[in-house]
Amino acid sequence: MFSHFKFIPFLQAILISSSLSQILCFNFRYPSFTSADANDFIRLNSSVINNVVQVSPVSRHSSGRILYKQPLKLWDKLKGTKSSFITTFVLNIRPLSTPGAEGLAFVLTDSAALPTNSGGPWLGIVNVSTININHIAAVEFDTRKSDSMDVDDNHVGVDVKNIYSIDQEPLASHGVNLSSGEDITARIQYDARSDDLLVYVKLTRLSEHDLGDPVIISHLDLSKNLPQDVFIGFSSSTGEYAQVNTVKSWDFISFETQIKGSANLLWLWILIPTVAVILVGGVGFLLYLRRKSRSKRNNDDEMDIEKEIQRSSSAPQKFRLKELKAATGNFNVNNKLGSGGFGTVYKGILRKQEVAVKRILKNTRHGKQDFIAEVTTISNLHHKNLVKLFGWCYESNELLLVYEFLPNGSLDRYIFRNQIRTDTDTTLDWETRHNIICGVAKALDYLHNGCEKRVIHRDVKASNIMLDSEFNARLGDFGLARTVQFKDKTLFNQGDCWNAGLYGSGKFPYRKPGHQNEQNEYNISIVEWVWEHHRTERITDVVDDRLNHDFDEDQARCTVMLGLGCCHPNPYERPSMRSALQVLTGEVCAPDVPTEKPAFMWPAMAPSLIGEDINNSITGGQLTTTTELSGR
Ligand SMILES: *[C@@H]1O[C@H](CO)[C@@H](O)[C@H](O)[C@H]1NC(C)=O
Ligand SMILES: *[C@@H]1O[C@H](CO)[C@@H](O)[C@H](O)[C@H]1NC(C)=O
């Protein structure tokens, strides 16, 4: 599972654009830890055993730390820069008794030394006499309620120079039991401009496509609490009871952000992960600069957002908040059409026309970036399979988008059973479904090849596919979309393949609804599930049984095979969206897909690039497979 998902942050991180630049500081990636990798780390009571890092000894009353040898430049006073970073890791905690103890933490620290007596509740972070003295920040995964300050014995927390968390969140309601011995994927994302620290936690076996919403959004200026150079790594401890605290894989990417000299309102992130050096050149990220004065922030933001939106060639209309409040009955719950991700959508009547108004969740930095991306991206796009944006509004800290209203709602309502909103019993027939798939493919082909700038949607899923009165697909929600300009023309196709596979057809609605007993199986991976049907030559069995076998068998086979082709673990093997469209229209045959799902390879390579390095990659793939099996 991990094998799929780990592609995503990487690509999310690199698929972006504009005109200025931000530099990648350093990044590294350990899909597992070999004994040779052990030399990359400062190990303090920790070890690399059986391809995993055992952060502290299993025995009682111990603590340990493992730190990457090269320190991270967290900020640079002279250059006026700060570093943003994204780190993703898989941790596995196995108590050897009930209850267990104590937990594990991701740390940024000035000191490579392990404080003595930092076992027990201290998690190897500080000891009783170094509280507020050691310069250390941590995200703790705490498996024991050590004192009244801990919410429970299964929580994640953000700690600064202390083990009392400035923010903490119990994990039970997020479906995670840290002590269960299951693999858990965590991501920590720090934006140096907004000082937002986001923590994501999800069971690894359920994290194939995404890590969901952050469990903690903490506001923390790391540069105020930590020195310019910090070590990054993990610490953990045991107390009265023995426990195995391990980290199985670890990715880290950081970028330098100019903070001083606010002449430029726009910042661009060009990331060049070492792996991407082989594959792709640079790309960028559009973000906003955080203004210094808090009181002026809203006004400045309003102006910034307006300026940014006006820049785009066909700026959409700006609406007044008053007008949108009136249109939606002051955002009356009865007008609610749906909610998710970063906002709620309301139905409204605006200037005698039915509209859908998306109200973006307040106070998330992410929300504003999404907002600008969405307005500027979509307003330059015109295609019959894209949702139309009428306008926008940003007032009193409210971010709102106004779209055309689509009477038939989103596709997820029709294809997944056990929906919360079962306001429809309509079963879409095969022809309609095929037409929807074609519509989405046309929209994506337009985004990838047909418009001025290449646009990567990055969030194609059933809930973002709206249906008009004739059930034609309209792709919406461009909150995560980014435009991309590859300098090197030869790289165009590769980018296209990635997009088609990962964000496009990879998530097409082939999910077989119903089938309770199979639910868990394909929660783990719909791709594996469909591939298994392909292997056993029962591929059309994956078609929704509500169609009662009333569908064009050849067309269905062809479509599902195409879907598998678009999920090929090696992105270079995936068809471009252009060829996907040709398959759907029957112009060319579906791609040949191996009956056994190929092993995941990292780094992904174009067939011509596969050379001597392949041994390492294949080892990586097999290890991943092992992890998958044990994860079930
Ligand atoms: C805390 O750690 C420091 C540094 O290792 C050490 O000098 C000090 O004695 C420790 N304090 C206690 C109470 O163990
Ligand atoms: C978490 O998992 C452990 C180990 O399987 C178990 O003892 C404990 O009861 C679980 N906690 C919850 C809240 O399910």
How far, CA to CA in Å, does 317 sit from each of 107, 369, 389, 450, 476? Answer: 46, 19, 9, 24, 18
Instruction: Provide the 3-class DSSP secondary structure of residue 409.
Output: coil
**Four-point Cα dihedral 4, 9, 14, 19, nearest 10:** 150
CA–CA gap between residue 310 and residue 330 (Å, rounded): 27
* Predicted pLDDT at 310: 66
CATH number for the segment(s) 4-272: 2.60.120.200
Task: Kindly state if the Cβ of 293 falls inside 6 Å of ligand 2.
Answer: no
Q: Evaluate if residue 461 carries a pLDDT over 50.
A: yes
Please report which confidence band the pLDDT of residue 17 belongs to, taking 50, 70 and 90 as the band edges.
Answer: very low
| Cβ pair 103, 141 in contact under 8 A | yes
User: Of the candidates 264, 272, 265, 266, which has an alpha carbon nearest to the alpha carbon of residue 487?
Assistant: 272
Task: Kindly state if the Cβ of 182 falls inside 6 Å of ligand 2.
Answer: no
Angle, helix 553-565 to helix 430-445, in steps of 10 degrees: 40
CA–CA gap between residue 195 and residue 72 (Å, rounded): 17
Q: Which of 150, 459, 496, 544 is catalytic?
A: 459
* Predicted pLDDT at 398: 83
Long-range contacts of 167-173 (CB under 8 A, 24+ apart): 167/216, 167/218, 168/142, 168/216, 169/199, 169/215, 169/216, 171/201, 171/215
User: At residue 422, what is the residue type?
Assistant: T
Residue of minimum CA distance from atom 7 in ligand 2 = 98
| Cβ pair 5, 211 in contact under 8 A | yes
Task: Kindly state if the Cβ of 130 falls inside 6 Å of ligand 1.
Answer: yes
Please report which confidence band the pLDDT of residue 592 belongs to, taking 50, 70 and 90 as the band edges.
Answer: confident
Here the tokens at position 477 are 């929600």
| Cβ pair 315, 379 in contact under 8 A | yes
Task: Kindly state if the Cβ of 179 falls inside 6 Å of ligand 2.
Answer: yes
Ligand 2 atom closest to residue 95's alpha carbon, by position in its atom list: 4
* pTM score of the predicted model: 0.47
CATH number for the segment(s) 317-404: 3.30.200.20
66-80 confidence digits (pLDDT tens): 999 999 999 988 888
| Cβ pair 195, 182 in contact under 8 A | no
Least confident span in 132-136, 319-323, 333-337, 513-517: 513-517
Q: Which ligand is nearest to the CA of 177?
A: 2
Q: Is the peptide bond before 31 cis (omega within 30 degrees of 0)?
A: no
174-206 confidence digits (pLDDT tens): 999 999 999 999 999 998 888 999 999 999 999
| Cβ pair 126, 161 in contact under 8 A | yes
CA–CA gap between residue 348 and residue 328 (Å, rounded): 4
Residue numbers in the known binding site for ATP are 362
| 397 φ/ψ sector (left φ>0, alpha ψ -120 to 50, else beta) | left
Ligand 1 atom closest to residue 115's alpha carbon, by position in its atom list: 5
Task: Kindly state if the Cβ of 117 falls inside 6 Å of ligand 1.
Answer: yes
Distance 144 CA to ligand 1 centre (A): 23
Task: Kindly state if the Cβ of 98 falls inside 6 Å of ligand 2.
Answer: yes
How far, CA to CA in Å, does 395 sit from each of 295, 301, 302, 321, 399? Answer: 15, 10, 7, 6, 7
3-state DSSP: the chain helix, strand, coil percent, rounded to 5? 30, 25, 40
| Cβ pair 279, 345 in contact under 8 A | no
Distance 158 CA to ligand 2 centre (A): 23
> Is 167 annotated as catalytic?
no
Average pLDDT over residues 222-249: 94
Distance 127 CA to ligand 1 centre (A): 6
Task: Kindly state if the Cβ of 94 falls inside 6 Å of ligand 2.
Answer: no
Q: Domain map of the chain by residue range? A: 4-272, 317-404, 412-619
* Predicted pLDDT at 366: 53
* Predicted pLDDT at 455: 79
Please list, in sequence order, all residues whose beta carbon lies within 8 angstroms of the beta carbon of residue 508, skipping any fewer than 6 positions away: 437, 440, 460, 563, 566
250-281 confidence digits (pLDDT tens): 999 888 877 754 333 333 344 444 444 445 54
Ligand 1 pocket test, candidate residues 114, 127, 128, 136, most atoms within 8 A of CB: 127
Long-range contacts of 547-555 (CB under 8 A, 24+ apart): 547/427, 547/429, 547/430, 550/429, 550/430, 551/429, 551/430, 552/430, 552/434, 555/430, 555/434, 555/586
123-136 confidence digits (pLDDT tens): 999 999 999 888 99
Here the tokens at position 12 are 């999310």
Rg (CA), the chain: 25
| Cβ pair 462, 505 in contact under 8 A | no
User: At residue 351, what is the residue type?
Assistant: R
Of residues 191 and 491, more confidently modeled:
191
Of residues 289 and 612, more confidently modeled:
289
| Cβ pair 81, 223 in contact under 8 A | no
Q: Which ligand is nearest to the CA of 179?
A: 2
The mean pLDDT of the chain is: 76
Please report which confidence band the pLDDT of residue 284 belongs to, taking 50, 70 and 90 as the band edges.
Answer: very low
* Predicted pLDDT at 9: 34
Q: What is the homologous superfamily of the domain 412-619 according to CATH?
A: Transferase(Phosphotransferase) domain 1 (1.10.510.10)
User: Of the candidates 258, 182, 303, 278, which has an alpha carbon nearest to the alpha carbon of residue 22?
Assistant: 258
Q: Which ligand is nearest to the CA of 113?
A: 1
Query: How, if at all, do strands 336-340 and 75-76 pair?
Result: unpaired
Distance 426 CA to ligand 2 centre (A): 41
Residue of minimum CA distance from atom 3 in ligand 2 = 180
Ligand 2 atom closest to residue 178's alpha carbon, by position in its atom list: 1
Residue numbers in the known binding site are 362
